[in-house]
Amino acid sequence: MATRAVTVPSESALIVRAFLSRLAFYLFVVLVSAFFALPLLWLVLAPFDRNPNLDVKVPSGTLQNFRDVFHDPNVVTSLRNSAILAVATVAIVVAAAGFAAYALSRVRIPGRDLLLYTLLLFSSIVTGSAAMVPLFLLIYDLGLINSFIGVILVLAGGLLPAAIFILKDFMDTVPASYEESARVFGASSFQVLRDIVTPVVRPGLAVIAVWGLVQVWGNFLIPFILMRSPDKSPAAVVVYNFYTEGGQADLRLLSAFSLLYSIPVVAMYLFVSNRYGFRFHGGIKR
C-alpha cells in the first residue's frame, strides 16, 4: 500500500502539475506573440505620436505626421508608382501564367515535370540578388533603365515561374470532360479557355493576382537598382529616403508613411479572405 502511494501521485498533485504546464505554455505563447506583435503595434501607434522613437507607447494623438508626409512631393507619386508597377506586373503575370499553365497542364511533353521544377528553382534566382548585375546590364543594353517597362518586365519574369507552377495545379483540377463537352458543341480553344477554364480556375487566378500584387508592392531591390529618378521610384524605395538633416532616420515621416504603405496590402488580405475565405485549394467540389 505504502509503495503504491509513492509511485501514484495524488489527485491534487496532478492538478497542480497540469496547471503549471498550462501556465508555462501560455507564458511561452504570450512571449512569442509579443515578439511578433510589438513591431505591428509600433506601426499602428507611432504615426500618431508627435515625437515617435523606437518604443511602443501610447501616442500623443496627432495627425501632423501625415500632414508632413503628404507635404513631401515624392510620397503621393511613389504610392502611385507602386500601384502602376503592381497592377501592370500582375496583369502580365496572370495572363501569361494562365496561358502557360493551361498549356502545361493539357499538353503531354516529355520532361514536363522537370521543366516545372526547374522553373520554380529559377523563380528565386531571377529576382534574387545573384542575378542583379546581369539583369542591370541586360536592362541597360535594352535602354530600359529608369523606365516602368524595364522594372515591370523584370518583376513579371521573377514572378512567372512560381505563378505557372501554382496555376498548373489549379488547371489540373479542371476535368477534361468540361472542355471536351464544349469542344463537341463546337467551341474553339479560345472559347473553351474563356467560357469554361478561366471561370473554373478563378480562385487560382485570384491567388496569383493577390500574391503578385503583394510581392511587387514590397519589392525594393529591383526598382532601387533600375530606377534612377525619384519621381519614378515606388513607395518601397522612397521610404528609404526619410532622413533628417542630421542623417538620422526621420521616424515621424517614416512611421506615417509606413502605415500608409501597408494599408493596401492589409486591405487586399481582407478582401481576399472575405471573398474567397482562403479556400485556396482550387478545383470544384461536386
Partner 1 sequence: MADVRMRSLTKVFPGGVRAIDELDLEIRDGEFFALLGPSGCGKTTLLRTLAGLEAATSGTLEIGGRDVTRLPPGARDVAMVFQDYALYPHMRVDDNIAYPLKIKKVKKEDRRRQAAEVGSHLGLDSLLLRRPAQLSGGQQQRVALARAMAFRPQLFLLDEPLSNLDARLRLEARSFLRRLQTEVATTTVYVTHDQAEALALADRIAVMEAGQIRQLGTPVEVFKHPANLFVAGFIGSLRMNLLPATVAGERLLVGESSTPLPPSAAGQVHEGENVILGARPEFCLLVADGEDGIAGEVTILENLGTEYLVTVEAGEVVIQVTVEEGAEPAVGDRVRVRPALERTLVYRAADGNLVGSPAPERTSVEA
Minimum CB distance to partner 1, residue 171 (Å): 15
Using CA atoms, how far residue 49 sits from 52, 57, 256, 259, in Å, is 5, 9, 10, 13
Nearer to partner 1, 183 or 264 (CB): 183
Stretch that binds partner 1, among 74-82, 89-97, 131-139, 278-286 (CB under 8 A): 278-286
For the bound state, the minimum distance from the C-beta of residue 96 to partner 1, rounded and expressed in Å, comes to: 23
Distance CA 137, CA 140 (A): 5
Closer residue to partner 1 in complex, CB, 53/188: 188
Examine residue 118 and tell whether it contacts partner 1 (CB under 8 A): no
Q: What angle do CA 203, 206, 211 make, to 5 degrees?
A: 130
Sign (positive/negative) of CA torsion 75, 83, 240, 260? positive
Nearer to partner 1, 161 or 282 (CB): 282
The alpha carbon torsion through 261, 267, 270, 271 (nearest 10 deg) reads -140
Interaction of residue 280 with partner 1, rule CB under 8 A: no
| Smallest distance, partner 1 to C-beta of residue 132, A | 43
Among positions 196, 214, 221, 265, the unique one binding partner 1 when judged by CB under 8 A: 196
Q: Which span sits near partner 1 by CB under 8 A: 24-32, 187-195, 206-214, 227-235?
A: 187-195
The yes or no reply on residue 191 touching partner 1 (CB under 8 A) is yes
End-to-end CA distance of the chain: 63
Tell me if 195 contacts partner 1 by CB under 8 A.
yes
The verdict on 186 binding partner 1 (CB under 8 A) reads: yes
Integer angstrom CA distances of residue 76 from 73, 146, 242, 244, 245:
7, 19, 14, 20, 22
- DSSP, collapsed to helix, strand or coil, labels residue 243 as strand
Tell me the window of 23-31, 135-143, 188-196, 234-242 that interacts with partner 1 (CB under 8 A): 188-196
> Which of 188, 231, 244, 281 lies at the binding interface for partner 1 (CB under 8 A)?
188
Kindly state whether residue 246 participates in binding partner 1, applying the rule CB under 8 A.
no
Query: Which of 95, 121, 175, 243: binder of partner 1 (CB under 8 A)?
Result: 175
- Please report whether residue 206 would count as binding partner 1 according to CB under 8 A: no
Residue with smaller CB distance to partner 1, 62 or 198: 198
Within 10 angstroms of residue 198's Cβ, the number of other Cβ atoms is 15
**Phi (first) and psi of residue 243, to 5 degrees:** -120, 150
Residues 6 or more apart in contact with residue 162 via CB below 8 angstroms: 120, 123
Q: How far is CA 269 from the centre of its chain?
A: 9
Residue among 61 and 199 whose Cβ is closer to partner 1: 199
285 near partner 1, judged by CB under 8 A: yes
64 and 131 Cβ atoms separated by less than 8 Å: no
Provide the residue type at 54 as one letter: L
Site residues (vs partner 1, CB under 8 A) = 175, 177-178, 180-188, 191, 195-196, 199-200, 202, 284-286
